Structure 1
Amino acid sequence: MKALIAASILMATFGTGAAHAAEIPSASLEVQAKALPQGQYFWASNAPQNGPLLLTIDLTEQRIRVYRDGVLFAASATSTGSEGRETPTGVFTILEKQVEHRSSTYDNAPMPFMQRLTEKGVAIHSGNLPGYAASHGCIRLPDAFARKLFAITEIGTPVMITDSAQIAERERIEAEYRKAQQDYAQTLYSKQAAAKSVLTEHNRAKAEHQRAMEAYAAEFGQPEKPRR
């Protein structure tokens, strides 16, 4: 999903919820996505027009990225669910779209350019971005970006929500588990090798003793057995 637009098409429109626009210097759009100031976004001026659309949202980064046919062409800062009201992770599809919508749960709060993802009302919409996760579970976007995004999505457009911090922690735990397995296997192998070495030495000593006994018998005859 980190496919990049070639350098020749990296000029993009950069803006905030206000009517502000400028040109981004030629650089990796993925780098731009990570470095976006709070409340700002970019949208490639020559964004691809054909191919499947995919939205990805990272709760740790507080970023939404928009891909067309695997190519990143737009990204924005977001504000997702606050502690105790976390935005759910997983793969969703857009279930409903309304240009003007008000919350039936939270004091009739306005949710412009609403795109609903779950039956419980989690949605993408225009809203305030204070610089941290502050919503009741929805994904807030700058107004101008929400408007642009609303114009290109359809019912059924897939949305993948992840938490890179959770993923990193899970990968760390899995890496530790794999290392523990490898260490155990190495320890077991070392013990088995040591036991095999002891057994080999025992068999060598036993064979040497047997040869000594046979040599003694050949020279002096079979030794007498001790009397009881």
Structure 2
Amino acid sequence: MPKLLLSLLAPLFALALPVQAAVETEIALAPGGYRWLEEGAVNGPLYMVISIEKQRVHVYSGDRLIGIASVSTGMKGHRTPTGDYPILQKRQWHRSNLYSNAPMPFMQRLTWDGIALHAGHNPGHPASHGCIRLPYAFARQLFALTKIGTPVEVTQARLNAALKIDPLVLGDPGSTVVSFDAGKGPAMTLPPPDAQEDGAPMLEIDPAIFTPRLRR
């Protein structure tokens, strides 16, 4: 059975293969609460999944859940749009261009028309004008971890991580996926393309897997 080596390097957008998070994700948080499950340097590619329904963000490093926080998304009439976004701009001290010069500390822009992550009031329910408000201390630590281009996915409900695989790879019958840190568990057998889930953050496949020595 052929095997494909994955290098978890950068965001790319295609089909999705769900991956189980290594840490239990149902951790109770009060409004404005957060929890870091790992401290220090991030070893895997960083990305975030934000659930409007659950008013929560999960921060992942590769397939590991490293941070959880409550959020406040857009209120009725200013709903936060779902979708996949790279961080476009970062400013530690920023003020809103749209809403009375309101402070937006640790701002991380997702769209050029006004949607961003930033520290702000977090009542445990949607209350913003579309931005995603984070607990202040969490926003500060997250700001230090992210870079321009870090992927952020806003979903209606889902918070679990996912690994996205290019359709060309899925078209190789019977292939299995082996990541470079796969010693923690067995390889995954790829399901058929029609079983894939759309709309999850994806990690890029290293082009080196298509070299002749790996494609036997």
TM-score norm. by structure 2 comes to 0.62
Note the 1:84-103 alignment, pairs <5 A: 84-103=77-96
Structure 2: stretches of 5+ with no match in the other structure = 1-18, 159-216
Q: State the alpha-carbon separation in 2 of the partners of residues 2 and 90 from structure 1.
A: 21
What is the distance in 1 between the residues matched to 2:58 and 2:103? Answer: 24
Structure 1 residues 160, 51: closer, same or farther in 2, change over 3 A?
Answer: same
Within the alignment, does 1:109 sit opposite 2:127 as a pair? Answer: no
Query: After superposition, what is the alpha-carbon deviation per residue over 1:62-88, rounded to whole angstroms, capped at 9, x for unaligned?
Result: 001100011101010000000111000
Aligned to 1:31: 26
Q: Which has the higher contact order (CA 8 A, sep 6+)?
A: 2
Alignment of 1:97-176 (within 5 A): 97-164=90-157
Who is 1:169 aligned against? none
Task: Give 1 or 2: higher strand fraction.
Answer: 2
Return the letter of the residue paired with 2:22: L
Whether the 8 Å CA contact 2:84–2:152 is kept in 1: the answer is yes
Distance 2:64 2:40 in 1: 9
**1:4 maps to what in 2?**
22
> Does structure 1 retain, via aligned residues, the 8 Å contact 2:30–2:124?
no
Instruction: Please report how far the alpha carbon of residue 163 of structure 1 lies from its aligned counterpart in structure 2 after TM superposition.
Output: 0.3
Instruction: Give 1:75's aligned residue.
Output: 68
Q: 2: distance between equivalents of 1:62 and 1:2?
A: 21
Task: Provide the C-alpha distance between the structure 2 equivalents of 1:62 and 1:130, rounded to a whole number of angstroms.
Answer: 10
**1:107 is paired with a residue of what secondary structure?**
coil
CA spacing shift, 1:53–1:45, aligned 2, 3 Å = closer
Give, as a single letter, the amino acid of the residue that structure 2 aligns with 1:124.
Answer: L
CA contact (8 A) 2:73 2:133 kept: yes
Matches of 1:128 and 1:148, distance apart in 2: 17
The residue type equivalent to 1:156 in the other structure is G
- Contact persistence 2:38–2:67 (CA under 8 A): no
Q: Secondary structure at the match of 2:26?
A: helix
Aligned residues: 140
Letter in 2 for 1:109: A
Q: What is the deviation of 1:4?
A: 1.7
CA contact (8 A) 1:87 1:138 kept: yes
Deviation at 1:45, TM superposition (A): 4.0
Distance, in Å, in 2 between the alignment partners of 1:73 and 1:51 is 11
- Which structure dedicates a bigger proportion of its chain to helix? 1
**2:100 alignment partner AA:** D
Partner of 2:5: none
- What are the within-5 Å matches in structure 2 for residues 202-221 of structure 1? none
Match of 1:42 in 2: 35
Deviation at 1:46, TM superposition (A): 3.9
1-side partners of 2:143 and 2:36: how far apart?
13
Percent sequence identity is 51
Give the distance between the partners of 1:83 and 1:141, measured in 2 at CA: 19
